[in-house]
């Protein structure tokens, strides 16, 4: 448009003369107006395209084409209107400008094939014809050149138009491709963003899952490796740990000591003060123990039993640490305002000296602890070969005991319990004997083992049955009772009362001829259950004695509430009747009378003892002075050799 304005201005005003001035100005104004309108149309076109890319292109093309044709006609009219007044220079300049305009137009307008053609033809043809038909020779020549140029321009225009079309098509295709690629790219980038988000979410889920798995793993570890109450290692985890420590001890040549710690009388705390206090006590003990070794190397074996492993500890070090532990446990424990005092028994075993297996080592330390607890000594003990011998002997005895009944190695002896006043046999105590492969084993040895292993239930049932059968057939005395020792384990058994009923029924022994002796120390535990059992026994008219009275731990208040008929004064007091035993026996007699109980003194070995006890008011006497325990066949023919010890 600018070129057009420039050229029309050059032509109209560059060669202006007085004759053509008005017409040229008018032509210029018309052309300028057309160019202005076209420029405005083009400006509008671009604005429209910017606002709405899918503008109706055809109307725009038509407007543009009309604009072009009008411009071409404008140029054409210039030649027609002014060629007569043109001199050589103006005519030549006009021809050059028009030819240049046609040349430029054919390429600028090449987008429209016909438009380019029409534009060139309108510009070139009229002026060429005018030139050819003119009189002037130079004009003929220029006209002729114009015609040739018109043909060339038409051909070039068409060709350019084809190329341009191709180019536009290719461009459009490229654009479409680019759009497609962009849209695909956008899609990809959207998918990519979504993928990134999903990955982020997945990572978060993964992270949360990992945390959850970690938490659960820790929980599982705790559940399967730690004791829920104290947080110490449980049996399984501690044993594994100990195995590792033993391996290291073997490799380094430094021993590892294992301490088995058992609280004394903890059950009493649990029973009398409740499980909550018991739990607090155990937690406190666990904390005190773990202060002596790493918490990792401290374990709870069960109930009130703890384990501590001490690497790099020889016998001396282990003993010192164990003593310090005992002192620590002995410090008062304050639970819910109560001050509790505890003691502990500790057994020690060392690896690799005593064993290379964790399980063995624990067992040895446990056995050592049990031995020490039974001995009543308040100091730790290290496992030894002497102890090993003792333990092996116990194991041997226990194995033998398992088959003693079927091998008929067990039998009963009876010891008379005499009436102090008349010196007549009031009862016969059944005492169990065991001939183990020709060797006599005392009940003091095998009964505790039978109780510990649970064999006592079977053996005790046999004793009860045998004693009742024997007593039923005692033709020499159909009124004397048979006193059977009953372990508290038997007594606590739910089937015990049924067993009693069955035996009384099958033997035919009247219940009043059966006495049961229960050791006093056993009354400590589970008083409620014992009372109900004793009430059941009493309701059957079976009498009950407290055996070994004075040696156990039962409190007088407990005795007050338990339904018993007799109190058996322990041999230890009878032995010491010359000394403090006298006072204790008198006190016992006083208590027994208060509780409506009769009294039996056991272990009476001399006439003096018998006289003294009778004089004190003891109701029944038992001991070697009258008779040692005898086999049933000896008892049947037994004659009391002491006619009257009181004389």
Interface residues with ligand C2E (CB under 6 A) are: 415, 431-432, 442-444, 447, 460, 463, 485-487, 517, 519, 547-548, 602-605, 622-624, 629
Distance CA 491, CA 544 (A): 12
Provide the minimum distance between the beta carbon of 550 and Mg ion in the complex, in angstroms, as a whole number.
10
Residue among 101 and 585 whose Cβ is closer to ligand C2E: 585
Q: Which two tokens stand for residue 186?
A: 């956008």
| CA-CA-CA-CA dihedral for 440, 442, 447, 450, to nearest 10 | -20
User: Which is it for strands 620-622 and 598-601: parallel, antiparallel or unpaired?
Assistant: parallel
If you ran DSSP here, which 8-state letter would residue 85 be given? G
- Minimum CB distance to ligand C2E, residue 574 (Å): 8
The nearer residue to ligand C2E, 307 or 432, going by C-beta atoms, is 432
Q: Is the peptide bond before 328 cis (omega within 30 degrees of 0)?
A: no
Minimum CB distance to ligand C2E smaller for 328 or for 526: 526
For Mg ion, the closer CB: 12 or 544: 544
Q: Which is nearer to Mg ion, 93 or 551 (CB)?
A: 551
Which of the listed partners (ligand C2E, Mg ion, none) does 404 bind, with a CB threshold of 5 to 8 Å by partner kind?
none
Cα distance between residue 156 and residue 153, in whole Å: 5
Judged by beta carbon, residue 109 or residue 463, the one nearer ligand C2E is 463
| Distance of closest approach, residue 585 Cβ to Mg ion, in angstroms | 14
CA distance 124 to 102: 7
Number of Cα atoms under 13 Å in the Cβ half of residue 241 = 23
Q: Which whole-number Å values give the CA distances from 427 to 143, 478, 514, 617, in the listed order?
A: 168, 11, 9, 18
CB-wise, 304 or 470, nearer to Mg ion? Answer: 470
Contacting range for Mg ion; rule: CB under 5 A; set: 74-82, 310-318, 467-475, 516-524: 516-524
Instruction: Return d(Cα 440, Cα 629) in angstroms, integer.
Output: 14
Residues in binding contact with Mg ion, number by CB under 5 A: 5
Task: Give CA–CA dist 305/346, Å, rounded.
Answer: 10
User: Quick one: which of 227, 366, 470, 517 contacts Mg ion (CB under 5 A)?
Assistant: 517
What ranges in 508-580 are assigned the alpha helix state H? 527-539, 556-561, 571-575
Neighbours of 507 (CB within 10 A): 21
Nearer to ligand C2E, 284 or 517 (CB): 517
How many Å apart are CA 462 and CA 615, to the nearest integer?
A: 38
Cβ nearer to Mg ion, comparing 300 with 515: 515
Question: Cα(400)–Cα(456) distance, rounded to whole angstroms?
Answer: 14
Residues 595-612 as b or e (16 or more Cβ within 10 Å = b): bebebbbbbbeeeebbeb
C-alpha 482/C-alpha 472 separation (Å) is: 9
Query: If contact means CB under 5 to 8 A according to the sort of partner, which of Mg ion, ligand C2E, none does residue 308 touch?
Result: none
Q: Which is nearer to ligand C2E, 227 or 548 (CB)?
A: 548
CB of 566 to ligand C2E, least distance (A): 12
The two beta strands, 410-419 and 381-382, are unpaired
Q: How far is CA 364 from the centre of its chain?
A: 32
Separate counts of helices (H) and strands (E) for the chain: 22, 17
Interatomic CA distance for residues 35 and 163, integer angstroms? 27
Q: How far is CA 148 from CA 64, 69, 140, 296, in A?
A: 27, 21, 12, 111
* Residue 339 interface partner, choices ligand C2E, Mg ion, none, CB cut-off 5-8 Å depending on type: none
Q: Does 485 bind Mg ion (CB under 5 A)?
A: yes
Pick from Mg ion, ligand C2E, none: which does 103 bind, CB < 5 to 8 A by kind? none
User: From the CB of 264, what's the least distance to Mg ion, in Å?
Assistant: 24
In the bound complex, what is the minimum distance in angstroms from residue 518's beta carbon to Mg ion?
Answer: 9
Q: Which residue's beta carbon is nearest to the bound Mg ion?
A: 517
**Min separation Cβ 428 and Mg ion, Å:** 11
| 47 Cβ contact partners less than 8 Å away, ≥ 6 residues apart | none
Q: Are strands 481-485 and 305-311 parallel, antiparallel or unpaired?
A: unpaired
Instruction: Mark residues 567-606: x for contact with Mg ion by CB under 5 A, - for none.
Output: -----------------------------------x----
Judged by CB, which is closer to ligand C2E: 371, or 517? Answer: 517
When the beta carbons of 487 and 554 are compared against ligand C2E, the nearer one is: 487
The encoded tokens of residue 595 equal: 């509780």
Query: Toward ligand C2E, which CB reaches closer, 146 or 603?
Result: 603
Output the smallest distance, CB 411 to ligand C2E, in A: 11
CA distances from residue 370 to 271, 307, 389 in whole angstroms, order as listed: 22, 14, 15
Least distance between ligand C2E and beta carbon 248 (Å)? 47
CB of 485 to Mg ion, least distance (A): 5
Q: How far is the CB of 548 from Mg ion (least distance, A)?
A: 4
Given ligand C2E, Mg ion, none, residue 623, with its beta carbon under 5 to 8 Å by kind, binds ligand C2E
Work out whether 548 is an interface residue with Mg ion (CB under 5 A).
yes
Q: Using the structure block, give the residue that is written with the tokens 């001995």.
A: 375
Residue 444 contacts which entry, ligand C2E, Mg ion, none (Cβ below 5-8 A, type-dependent): ligand C2E
Instruction: Write down the least CB distance from residue 612 to ligand C2E, Å.
Output: 14
| Residue 95 binding target from ligand C2E, Mg ion, none, CB below 5 to 8 Å by type | none
Q: How far apart are CA 128 and CA 152, in angstroms?
A: 13
Please choose, out of 19-27, 348-356, 402-410, 513-521, the segment that lies near Mg ion by the rule CB under 5 A: 513-521
Query: Which one, 7 or 485, has the nearer CB to ligand C2E?
Result: 485
CB of 517 to ligand C2E, least distance (A): 6
Torsion angles phi and psi, residue 301, rounded to 5: -80, -30
Q: Which of 517, 446, 525 is nearest to 487 (CA)?
A: 517
**Alpha-carbon radius of gyration of the chain:** 63
Least separation, in Å, of the C-beta of 219 and ligand C2E? 47
Residues binding Mg ion (CB under 5 A): 485, 517, 547-548, 602
């Amino acid at each position: 448009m600018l070129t057009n304005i420039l050229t029309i201005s050059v032509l109209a005003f560059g060669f202006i003369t007085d004759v053509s001035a008005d017409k040229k100005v008018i032509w210029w104004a018309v052309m300028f107006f057309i160019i202005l309108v076209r420029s405005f149309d083009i400006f509008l076109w671009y604005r429209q395209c910017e606002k709405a890319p899918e503008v109706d292109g055809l109307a725009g093309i038509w407007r543009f084409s009309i604009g072009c044709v009008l411009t071409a006609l404008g140029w054409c009219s210039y030649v027609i209107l002014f060629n007569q007044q043109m001199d050589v220079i103006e005519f030549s300049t006009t021809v050059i400008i028009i030819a240049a305009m046609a040349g430029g137009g054919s390429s600028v307008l090449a987008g429209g094939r016909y438009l380019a053609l029409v534009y060139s033809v309108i510009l070139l043809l009229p002026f060429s014809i005018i030139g050819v038909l003119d009189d002037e020779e130079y004009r003929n020549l220029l006209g002729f050149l114009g015609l040739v140029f018109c043909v060339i321009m038409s051909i070039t225009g068409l060709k350019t138009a084809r190329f341009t079309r191709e180019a536009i098509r290719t461009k459009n295709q490229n654009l479409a491709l680019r759009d497609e690629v962009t849209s695909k790219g956008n899609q990809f980038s959207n998918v990519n963003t979504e993928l990134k988000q999903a990955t982020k979410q997945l990572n978060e889920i993964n992270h949360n899952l990992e945390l959850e798995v970690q938490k659960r793993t820790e929980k599982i570890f705790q559940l399967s490796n730690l004791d829920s109450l104290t947080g110490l290692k449980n049996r399984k985890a501690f044993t594994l740990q100990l195995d590792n420590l033993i391996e290291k001890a073997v490799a380094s040549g430094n021993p590892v000591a294992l301490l088995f710690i058992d609280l004394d009388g903890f059950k009493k705390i649990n029973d009398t003060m409740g499980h909550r206090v018991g739990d607090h006590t155990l937690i406190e003990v666990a904390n005190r123990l773990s202060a002596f070794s790493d918490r990792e190397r401290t374990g709870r074996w069960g109930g009130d039993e703890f384990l501590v492993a001490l690497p790099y500890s020889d016998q001396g070090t282990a003993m010192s640490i164990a003593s310090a532990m005992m002192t620590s446990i002995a410090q008062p424990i304050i639970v819910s305002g109560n001050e509790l005092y505890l003691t502990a028994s500790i057994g020690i075993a060392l690896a690799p000296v005593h064993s290379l297996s964790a399980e063995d080592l624990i067992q040895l330390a446990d056995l050592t602890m049990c031995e020490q607890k039974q001995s009543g000594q308040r100091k730790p003990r290290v496992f030894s070969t002497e102890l090993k011998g003792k333990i092996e002997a116990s194991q041997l005895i226990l194995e033998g005991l398992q088959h003693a009944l079927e091998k008929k190695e067990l039998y009963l002896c009876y010891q008379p319990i005499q009436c102090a006043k008349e010196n007549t046999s009031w009862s016969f105590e059944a005492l169990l004997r065991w001939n183990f492969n020709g060797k006599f084993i005392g009940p003091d040895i095998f009964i505790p083992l039978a109780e510990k292993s649970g064999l006592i239930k079977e053996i005790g049932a046999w004793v009860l049955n045998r004693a009742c059968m024997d007593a039923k057939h005692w033709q020499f005395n159909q009124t004397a009772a048979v006193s059977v020792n009953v372990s508290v384990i038997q007594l606590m058994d739910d089937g015990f009362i049924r067993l009693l009923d069955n035996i009384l029924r099958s033997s035919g022994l009247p219940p009043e001829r059966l006495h049961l002796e229960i050791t006093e120390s056993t009354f400590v535990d589970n008083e409620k259950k014992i009372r109900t059992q004793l009430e059941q026994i009493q309701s059957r008219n079976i009498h009950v004695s407290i055996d070994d009275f004075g040696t156990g731990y039962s409190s007088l208040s407990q005795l007050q509430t338990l339904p018993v008929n007799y109190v058996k004064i322990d041999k230890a007091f009878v032995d010491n009747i010359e000394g403090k035993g006298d006072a204790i026996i008198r006190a016992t007699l006083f208590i027994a009378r208060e509780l409506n109980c009769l009294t039996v003194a056991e272990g009476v070995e001399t006439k003096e003892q018998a006289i003294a006890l009778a004089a004190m008011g003891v109701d029944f006497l038992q001991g070697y002075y009258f008779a040692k325990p005898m086999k049933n066949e000896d008892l049947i023919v037994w004659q009391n050799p002491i006619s009257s010890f009181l004389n």
